Amino acid sequence: MRINFLNRTRSSDSSRLPLIYGAGSLLVLLILWTLSTSVLGWIDPMTLPSPAEVVARFGNLIVEPFSGSTLAGHVGASLYRWALGVGAAVLLGVPVGILFAWLPGFRAVFNPIFEVLRYIPPFAWVPIAILWFGASTATQAMVVFIAAFPACVINAQLGVQQVDPILVRAARVLGAGQGAMLRRVVVPVAAPAIFTGLRIAISNGWMALVGAELVVGKVGLGFLISQGQNNDSVSTIFVGIIAIGSLGVIIDTLLQRSETVLLPWRKPRAQRDG
């Protein structure tokens, strides 16, 4: 009993350890930030506002509109554009990646175009996006799409290429056609790599969105930051930056969670050759 109890505490301790360290380092950062600003006054508030100031500004932005919207409005606008762009990139990019790996002919025709396009930075498309769509949601969504698309394609392609050919053979012997083989064997086996692609696509898209919003638009987190700069409100900028970072972490965590739900078969190999 006693031994069991000890073992259990030890194992749960070790699984919580990274979390404790992570929280600890954030806390240290927060303490240093507080000390250097409000307590010791080393840093000028116009360079770096104190945590208290940022929190106050955060509360303020939630209730009072700034540059046309409350914080929720800016966040909502950014999330909407981001979802449109990433959604389109996933819906188009994943099938393209799968087909790149599955159909050599398709790849031979379209891969050169893809390779050239993917080396053009997303922001290089901003002027043309403005020309096509004006200062609309479509403009920022397009930049997000361009930033997110390559990761979807490349990882889906890689995932399919890594599927053990013996699984394809086994499916053939059991009478599977191309469609069933893709649907029931190839795509599920490639799914973890596709998920990795989604994670990269999501963060690339998020970063490109904020960049695009700095340049164009009248609402959104990037716009909020640039308005903070125009109004000499350093704390607004910090609220915007922290919101961008936190939302990124939340989205990524949700995606990782959904992976364990959607791919239940990816369990640790508990027993082998027992």
Partner 1 sequence: MQNQQSTPKLELRNITKWFGPKDTGVCAVDNCSLAVQKGEFICVVGPSGCGKSTLMTVGAGLEQPTEGEILVDGKPAGPPGPQRSVVFQKFALFPSETVAQNIKFGLQMCGVDAKEQERRLVEQLKIMKLEQFRDAYPSELSGGMQQRVAIARSLVMQPEILLMDEPFGALDAQTRTILQEEVQRLHREHHYTVLFITHSVEEAVYLGDRVIVMSRRPGRIKKEISLPRDVVWKRGDIEVAAEHPDFIAARREIWALVREEIIAQ
Question: Which residues here bind partner 1, judged by CB under 8 A?
Answer: 164, 166-167, 169-177, 180, 184-185, 188-189, 191, 263-267, 269-274
Chain-centre distance of CA 66, in angstroms? 26
Nearer to partner 1, 169 or 218 (CB): 169
- What minimum distance in Å lies between the beta carbon of 271 and partner 1? 6
The residue length of the chain stands at: 274
The first and second tokens of residue 156, run together, are: 């889906």
Residue that has been written with the tokens 């360079």 in this structure: 47
Nearer to partner 1, 170 or 254 (CB): 170
Helices (H), the chain: 2-34, 51-63, 71-102, 104-118, 126-133, 137-161, 165-173, 178-181, 187-215, 221-230, 234-262
Chain-centre distance of CA 76, in angstroms? 16
Cα→Cα distances 101→93, 98, 112, 190, Å: 13, 5, 14, 11
- What minimum distance in Å lies between the beta carbon of 156 and partner 1? 16
- What minimum distance in Å lies between the beta carbon of 93 and partner 1? 21
- What minimum distance in Å lies between the beta carbon of 274 and partner 1? 4
Nearer to partner 1, 249 or 263 (CB): 263
Nearer to partner 1, 13 or 164 (CB): 164
Nearer to partner 1, 158 or 191 (CB): 191
